[in-house]
Amino acid sequence: MADRILSASAALAEALHEEMARDETVFILGEDLTAHAGIFGQFKGIPEKFPGRILDTPISEACIAGCGAGAALTGMRPIVDFHFADFVTCGMDEFCNQAAKIRYMFGGQVKLPMVVWCPDGAGLRAAAQHSQSLEAWFVHTPGLKVVVPSEPADVKGLMKASIRDDDPVMFFQHKRLFRKEGHVPADPEFIIPLGRAAVKREGRDVSLLTYGSGFFMCMEAAQELAQQGIEVEVVDLRTLKPLDMETIAASVRKTFRAVIVHEACRTGGFGAELAARIQAELFDYLDAPILRVAARDVPTPFSPPMEDFVLPKAADVIAAVKAVCKR
């Protein structure tokens, strides 16, 4: 089947429609889902097509998270809509102390197939409490899988794989990327397996390792660097846990240099974990220190100029690449 041009929001909606039609145990719960088709229009048409399978809940994130975990334990496949990723703080016990551990505590006798959908990230002038990138918290929690797509095709393929997975999946989708458009396969069985990165631009000089909004920063930087004679390879991780170290290693062995790019704060961000693994497993292939490009370690400001100052940009990626290339 031919590809179509879809927005990330439309790609998500298509994935949900297809999986709900395929499996009657899939349902959605969260706040304000039916009146406005979701905060980003991602649930358009679902209440009409699947009556009773998209549930509006009270404003109680702990309750929503607990209901999702309980439903998963009884054989359902819930998609828990958390509106903004920042609100996961209100469901941390349910996600990290219950859902993440139950399968292990019961010796693998039960499954917990739950997707927690978390729109995250900054750039919408939403201030400190609605602009965070919190994926590293959940990578640090054994028992959870963590997905961070960038392009619309990734959104569709990874959401379908997440829904079919038998473990809880934290699905972070950047708020600024919902209108991004791209080619999306029409095949209803199009799936991107969790734990598989993608080399989206080949290069010889530096490996740019990134995910989510960082991917678009890297592609912008790559175009400008190419005009200066530097060819970077862009690896979109897509899934942080499980992590595709095989693809990462193949890229670093080719370029001998690595720059890690993400929007989350620098200190304790996922880039630190990835840098440590590259250092431990690929040290002999490195011709330069591993550098990280990330947000500054401050709460996201409401002021537009200050927010822009805090967030990483393509210019920061370019500077890091030139540093490792000694140019």
Catalytic residues: 130
Helices (H), the chain: 8-22, 46-49, 61-73, 92, 100-105, 135-139, 152-164, 213-227, 245-255, 270-282, 304-310, 314-325
Can you say how many angstroms the Cα of residue 187 is from the centroid of all Cα atoms in its chain? 22
Name every residue whose Cβ is closer than 8 Å to that of residue 327 and which is 6 or more positions away in sequence: 228, 230
CA-CA distance, 285 to 255, in Å (whole number)? 9
How far is residue 191's CA from residue 159's CA, in Å, rounded to a whole number? 8
Distance CA 135, CA 270 (A): 8
Residues whose CB is less than 8 angstroms from the CB of residue 181 and which lie 6 or more positions away in sequence, other chains included: 5, 6, 7, 8, 152
Dist CA 189 CA 157 (whole Å): 9
Which amino acid is present at 36?
A: H
* Residues paired with 293 in a beta bridge: 261
Q: Which residues of 249-275 are buried (b: 16+ CB within 10 A; e: fewer)?
A: bebbebbbbbbbbbbbbeeebbbbbbb
Token couple for 165:
């997975």
Euclidean distance between CA atoms 156 and 238, whole angstroms: 12
| CA-angle at 60, arms to 173 and 123, nearest 5° | 30
Query: Helix or strand or coil: residue 307?
Result: helix
